[in-house]
């Protein structure tokens, strides 16, 4: 198809002459006239069909039922079992080679999970044994329901911190430990109920409101708060603040200088240095991942032996004490479903549920991408939610996919979710037979393990990248970071969500608009600021809107378009160019429009018509064209109101002007 819209000449005029348009018919080689295509309406559909399509796009973008098409009843039953229980997908192909890899990786992450579980339980102000309980039942359930091959399941630092800080604001874990425990189990139940509901109802897009930028700031702030909280154990302070803000924590540290213990200081910082060194080695040489993976367990063993032999000289070093032997006791009778603290349990469960779910899915997708397989977000929500519901009834608190465990699991060569079963089996042996060995384990070493685990959450490189790429994202990151540090962890998370929503509203309510020009020798029109060689078409101003036109931005767009027109008229007058006659609105990026948007276009046409300016629409997408047709506003635009491309609009309107006497 030939292109016949006018080309711009005389670019090098030095006397301020206006740019001229020369018809292609005057060129030496004649070019066929451009064919003007009619803009078609999409196929007619009923309201019910439109609703079904829209709901399908919202809730089933991956079309999970496509595998069931044209299958026998038996195959449909088998596929349904595989969908609900992913273990049925890979179990028939399981062999000894895979088992060997999973045993090695499972035992490796068990060496990390045992000390981490005890440490994170203390971070949540819960009895240490709950950390081991939470490393036994949830991994078993996840191995049946989860779709990730490498996710290492158990307690995570951020959820532990948030649960501890939110519950401690209302309930003292020292003065009323039973009520505190009930709230922890109930919050875990509600977290699981919320997570599984998101998966069942396919509402996973809810967690997308936590943008990466805000999470980077939130994680960094929480990591600093967690680390500072461990100064209580590292320094041997007995009377320490329960607040989670940086100011009261630092005040408490220096106010209680008389309680500092050189024994705790020496032991804690020695093992902290050892753990950080092993972490650095593993980061520098990934093949030595087992060095940092085994370091926490080695630290626990060495510190326990040291304290045991020096127990008569280390009275100031607090120890874990007796841990009960045996499997997880049932805790369904401790769930709290009525009374004055129910709202606290609901709020804590919602916040920790969102955080743990976000971390679990992000970690699972990260390692799935490295091995080129898919992780189903909705399945993950159901798996994580159901394991937390079951965990709340078996003396576990909130669990999810841990990044540190998953990284070790991945590097150790895990092939399937059996590695979680092996890890849980190792924890089972520990619960049944090895609990007395942890009696003399010092709390200070658990603090060092926590600091080493959370220091990796401070991603300064990601923050620097945000600064380079998007200053608004960087601002969101800073607000989230300082909100956690100086206000509180839950409010810091609220600020993070608020900033994410504000950013969405900002983009929706104040969309980008551009002035387009023609790339010489082509039918392409692009942003004048981006492409310096792009040329304005005399008597035309071509505008592009890069968003849907909704009630939230329709008034803004009308005002902005009229401002573009005014500025163009002023520019034309100043340069003595051809009078502005036509405004072409390129709607290629306008993916949707509502009644407020159609009313705005109609009002804009009336305003421009009073100023003897023609408004033309180019390339509206199917559903936009359908809305324009149904609203009857195209009738008021005239015969030449909608074109398939900007090039056709320019060519046809220019030729109509020339045809006029």
Q: Write out pLDDT tens, residues 490-535.
A: 777 777 778 778 888 888 888 889 999 999 988 889 999 899 899 9
Q: What is the pLDDT of residue 639?
A: 60
pLDDT at 113 over 70: yes
- Segment 268-278 shows an average pLDDT of 91
Q: What is the pLDDT of residue 587?
A: 92
Identify the bridge partners of residue 8 per DSSP, sorted by sequence position: 21
Interval 325-367: pLDDT, tens:
888 999 999 998 988 999 999 999 999 998 898 888 888 888 8
Q: What is the pLDDT of residue 623?
A: 86
pLDDT at 629 over 90: no
pLDDT at 22 over 60: no
Please tell us whether the domain made up of 511-659 is placed in CATH 3.30.750.24: yes
Interval 140-184: pLDDT, tens:
999 999 889 899 999 998 899 889 888 988 898 888 999 999 999
How many percent of the chain have pLDDT more than 90? 32
Interval 281-314: pLDDT, tens:
988 888 888 888 888 889 999 999 998 888 777 6
Whose CA is closest to 205, among 386, 378, 398, 387?
378
Whose CA is closest to 549, among 505, 585, 518, 595?
595
Question: How does the average pLDDT of the chain come out, rounded?
Answer: 84
Length of the chain as a residue count = 661
Whose CA is closest to 304, among 317, 316, 294?
317
Q: What is the pLDDT of residue 34?
A: 64
pLDDT at 50 over 90: no
Q: What is the pLDDT of residue 184?
A: 96
pLDDT at 55 over 80: no
Interval 187-223: pLDDT, tens:
999 999 999 998 888 877 777 777 778 888 888 888 8
Model confidence, pTM: 0.76
Cα separation, 434 vs 175, whole angstroms: 30
Phi-psi region of 533 (alpha: psi -120 to 50; beta: other; left: phi over 0): alpha
- Segment 418-423 shows an average pLDDT of 93
- CB contact at 8 A, 23 and 657: no
Whose CA is closest to 398, among 599, 593, 130, 653?
130
Backbone angles phi, psi at 615, to 5 degrees: -110, 130
Q: Domain spans of the chain?
A: 89-502, 511-659
pLDDT at 11 over 50: no
pLDDT at 25 over 50: no
Highest-confidence segment of 246-250, 443-447, 549-553: 549-553
Cα separation, 30 vs 22, whole angstroms: 13
Q: What is the pLDDT of residue 329?
A: 93
How many percent of the chain have pLDDT more than 70? 92
Interior angle at CA 164, CA 158 and CA 167, nearest 5:
135
221 contact partners, CB below 8 Å, separation of at least 6: 480, 481, 482, 483, 484, 485, 489, 492
């Amino acid at each position: 198809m030939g292109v016949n819209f006018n080309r711009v000449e005389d670019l090098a005029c030095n006397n301020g002459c206006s740019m001229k348009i020369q018809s292609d018919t005057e060129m030496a080689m004649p070019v066929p006239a451009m064919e003007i295509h009619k803009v078609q309406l999409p196929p007619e559909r009923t309201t019910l069909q439109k609703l079904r399509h829209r709901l399908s796009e919202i809730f089933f973008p991956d079309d999970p039922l496509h595998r069931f098409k044209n299958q026998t009843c038996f195959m449909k039953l088998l596929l349904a079992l595989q969908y609900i229980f992913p273990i049925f997908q890979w179990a028939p192909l399981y062999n000894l080679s895979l088992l060997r890899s999973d045993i090695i990786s499972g035992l490796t992450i068990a060496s990390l999970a045992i000390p981490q579980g005890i440490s994170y339980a203390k971070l949540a102000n819960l009895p240490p044994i709950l950390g081991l309980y939470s490393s036994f039942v949830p991994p078993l359930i996840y191995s049946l329901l989860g779709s990730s091959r490498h996710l290492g399941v158990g307690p995570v630092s951020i959820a532990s911190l948030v649960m501890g800080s939110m519950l401690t604001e209302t309930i003292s874990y020292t003065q009323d430990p039973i009520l505190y425990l009930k709230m922890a189990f109930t919050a875990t139940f509600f977290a699981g109920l919320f997570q599984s509901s998101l998966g069942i109802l396919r509402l996973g897009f809810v967690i997308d409101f936590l943008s990466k930028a805000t999470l980077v700031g939130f994680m960094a702030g929480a990591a600093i708060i967690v680390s500072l909280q461990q100064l209580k154990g590292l320094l041997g302070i007995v009377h320490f603040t329960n607040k989670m803000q940086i100011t009261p924590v630092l005040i408490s540290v220096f106010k209680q200088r008389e309680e500092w213990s050189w024994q705790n200081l020496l032991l804690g910082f020695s093992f902290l240095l050892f753990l950080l060194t092993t972490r650095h080695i593993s980061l520098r040489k990934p093949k030595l991942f087992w060095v940092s993976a085994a370091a926490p367990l080695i630290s626990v063993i060495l510190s326990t032996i040291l304290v045991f032999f020096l127990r008569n000289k280390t009275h100031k070093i607090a120890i874990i004490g007796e841990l009960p032997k045996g499997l997880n006791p049932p805790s369904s009778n401790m769930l709290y479903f009525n009374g004055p603290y129910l709202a606290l349990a609901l709020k804590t469960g919602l916040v920790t549920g969102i955080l743990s779910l976000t971390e679990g899915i992000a970690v699972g997708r990260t390692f799935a991408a490295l091995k080129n397989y898919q992780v189903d977000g909705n399945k993950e929500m159901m798996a994580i939610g159901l394991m937390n519901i079951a965990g709340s009834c078996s003396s576990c608190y909130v669990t999810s996919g841990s990044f540190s465990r998953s990284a070790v699991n991945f590097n150790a060569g895990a092939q399937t979710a059996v590695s979680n079963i092996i890890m849980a089996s190792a924890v089972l042996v520990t619960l049944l037979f090895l609990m007395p060995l942890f009696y003399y384990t010092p709390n200070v070493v658990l603090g060092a393990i926590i600091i080493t685990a959370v220091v990796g959450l401070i991603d300064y490189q990601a923050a620097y990248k945000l600064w380079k790429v998007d200053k608004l994202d960087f601002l969101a990151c800073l607000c989230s970071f300082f909100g956690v540090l100086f206000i509180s962890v839950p409010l810091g998370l609220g600020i993070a969500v608020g900033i994410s929503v504000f950013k969405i509203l900002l983009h929706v309510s104040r969309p980008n608009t551009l002035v387009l020009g023609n790339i010489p020798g082509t039918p392409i029109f692009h942003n004048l600021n981006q492409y310096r060689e792009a040329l304005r078409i005399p008597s035309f101003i071509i505008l592009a809107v890069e968003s849907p036109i909704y009630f939230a931005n329709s008034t803004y767009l009308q005002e902005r378009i009229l401002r573009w027109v005014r500025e163009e008229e002023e520019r034309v007058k100043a340069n003595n160019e051809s009078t502005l006659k036509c405004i072409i609105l390129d709607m290629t990026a306008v993916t949707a429009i509502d009644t407020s948007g159609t009313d705005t276009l109609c009002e804009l046409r009336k305003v421009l018509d009073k100023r003897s300016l023609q408004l033309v629409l180019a390339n509206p997408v199917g559903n936009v064209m359908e809305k324009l047709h149904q609203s009857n506003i195209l009738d008021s635009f005239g015969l030449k109101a909608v074109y398939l491309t900007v090039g056709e609009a320019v060519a046809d309107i220019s030729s109509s002007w020339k045809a006029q006497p």
